[in-house]
């Protein structure tokens, strides 16, 4: 089960920023798209000190950054946007839960991207953060991935309406692409759970129960990741209602409402899958109990068969002087026949009662 680990804070200046994730050896790379309906410019590995020369405030600017090790570079981007240090700290601290912050004219959003870890039962987690301000959208990824490849191609080929929209619509597309990973992860979990259910009908191996509990932990982890995302997307409604923050156009709020609806659908599916896991656990225990009952029934039937035989043997094992059957020529054979008739009669009776 995944638990939050609390660490004693270091006694450092609040302005000191440090990346807390696991991808500590990923080289930081920057990509910039500057576009509108008519033009597109794409830059790779440019000098962050010259970011002001490339950014065009009359167009949409998307700065995509891979790798969070170079904190000096991230601070320079923050200084260019006029972003406070607490937002940069949340970008570098990957233990933070999904959240949405509106501070002055800047919108900060971070989200957990979850994907299956190969053929194992583990889930890979990556934090992705966004800063939206004055037509500039900056996305921070812990490592290089292909989450946004199709969005880049849509921008390059002018597919859909992305080139006709502002940076807030681009933020919607990026969030939607990350949320697709939740669907992939849940579908992968469902496939494995279905295999477990089928296996539990054929085997009573205790390892099946261990796997069921592992997937239950995964579903609970998914749930814990989606709930704050749902709350953050719902809070965008308050941004819409206050009529102060204009980073998101009024006619684009409906796109974020769709994302909120997707969160509700994902949570409903997780609840259904958790119920399925409960059923699988109950079925496993029922199978175990049924197997134990069958064993006990067999042992009980065998014991009942031998009870009258033991009684007869006990009677003839007594050391009385006058026992007529002891001197009878066919005494032994007679006792054996009586025993056989008793066993046959009991078997017939048990069969008739369907006790076995």
pLDDT in tens, 273-302: 988 888 777 777 777 777 788 788 888 888
pLDDT of residue 184: 93
pLDDT of residue 185: 94
Tens digits of residue pLDDT in 133-166: 888 999 999 988 888 999 999 999 999 899 999 9
Of 68-77, 80-89, 220-229, 278-287, the one with minimum mean pLDDT is 278-287
Q: What is the model's pLDDT at position 140?
A: 94
User: What percent of the chain stands above pLDDT 90?
Assistant: 31
* pLDDT computed for residue 208 by the predictor: 81
- Tell me the helices (H) and strands (E) count for the chain, helix number first: 9, 7
Overall average pLDDT of the 177-195 stretch: 91
- Please say if the pLDDT value at position 171 is more than 90: yes
pLDDT at 7: 47
Is residue 20 a contact partner of residue 96, using CB atoms and an 8 Å limit?
no
Q: Which pLDDT belongs to residue 11? A: 44
Mean pLDDT of 213-242: 86
pLDDT attached to residue 47: 79
pLDDT band at residue 6 using 50, 70 and 90 as cut-offs: very low
Tokens read off for 169: 């619509």
Between 12 and 143, the more confident residue is: 143
Q: What's the per-residue H, E or C state across 105-161?
A: CEEEEEEEEEEECCCCCCEEEEEEEEEEECCEEEEEECCCCCCCHHHHHHHHHCCCC
| In contact, 33 and 22? CB cutoff 8 Å | no
Looking at residue 269, its pLDDT comes to 94
The answer to whether 115 and 184 are in contact (CB under 8 A) is yes
Extended beta strands in the chain, E state? 29-35, 40-44, 60-66, 99-103, 106-116, 123-133, 136-141
Contacts of 89 (CB under 8 A, 6+ apart): 17
In this structure, is the dihedral angle defined by the CA atoms of residues 314, 317, 320 and 323, taken in order, positive or negative? positive
pLDDT score, position 241: 62
Among 164, 133, 169, CA closest to 246: 133
Task: State the first-to-last Cα distance of the chain, in angstroms, to the nearest integer.
Answer: 43
In this prediction, residue 154 carries a pLDDT of 93
Most confident of 43-47, 67-71, 205-209, 325-329: 67-71
């Amino acid at each position: 089960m995944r638990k939050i680990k609390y660490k004693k804070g270091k006694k450092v200046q609040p302005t000191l920023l440090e990346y807390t994730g696991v991808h500590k050896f990923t080289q930081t790379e920057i990509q910039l798209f500057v576009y509108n309906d008519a033009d597109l410019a794409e830059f790779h590995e440019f000098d962050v000190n010259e970011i002001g020369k490339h950014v065009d405030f009359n167009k949409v600017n998307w700065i995509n950054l891979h790798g969070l090790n170079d904190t000096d570079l991230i601070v320079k981007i923050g200084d260019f946007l006029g972003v406070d240090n607490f937002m940069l700290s949340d970008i570098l601290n990957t233990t933070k839960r999904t959240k949405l912050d509106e501070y002055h004219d800047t919108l900060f959003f971070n989200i957990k991207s979850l994907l299956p870890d190969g053929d194992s039962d583990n889930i890979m987690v990556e934090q992705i953060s966004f800063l939206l301000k004055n037509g500039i959208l900056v996305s921070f990824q812990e490592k290089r991935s292909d989450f946004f490849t199709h969005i880049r191609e849509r921008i390059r080929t002018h597919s859909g309406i992305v080139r006709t929209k502002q940076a807030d619509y681009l933020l919607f597309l990026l969030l939607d692409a990350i949320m697709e990973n939740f669907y992939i992860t849940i579908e992968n979990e469902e496939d494995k759970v279905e295999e477990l259910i089928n296996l539990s009908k054929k085997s009573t191996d205790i390892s099946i129960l261990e796997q069921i509990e592992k997937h239950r932990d995964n579903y609970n982890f998914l749930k814990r990741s989606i709930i704050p995302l749902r709350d953050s997307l719902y809070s965008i409604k308050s941004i819409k209602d206050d009529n102060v923050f204009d980073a998101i156009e009024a006619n684009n709020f409906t796109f974020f409402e769709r994302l909120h609806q997707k969160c509700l659908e994902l949570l409903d599916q997780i609840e259904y899958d958790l119920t399925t896991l409960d059923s699988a656990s109950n079925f496993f225990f029922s199978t175990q109990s049924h197997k134990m009952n069958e064993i006990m029934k067999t042992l009980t039937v065998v014991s009942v068969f031998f009870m009258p035989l033991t009684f007869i043997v006990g009677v003839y094992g007594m050391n009385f002087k006058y026992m007529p059957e002891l001197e009878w020529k066919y005494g032994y054979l007679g006792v054996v026949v009586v025993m056989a008739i008793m066993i046959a009669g009991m078997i017939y009776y048990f069969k008739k009662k369907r006790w076995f």
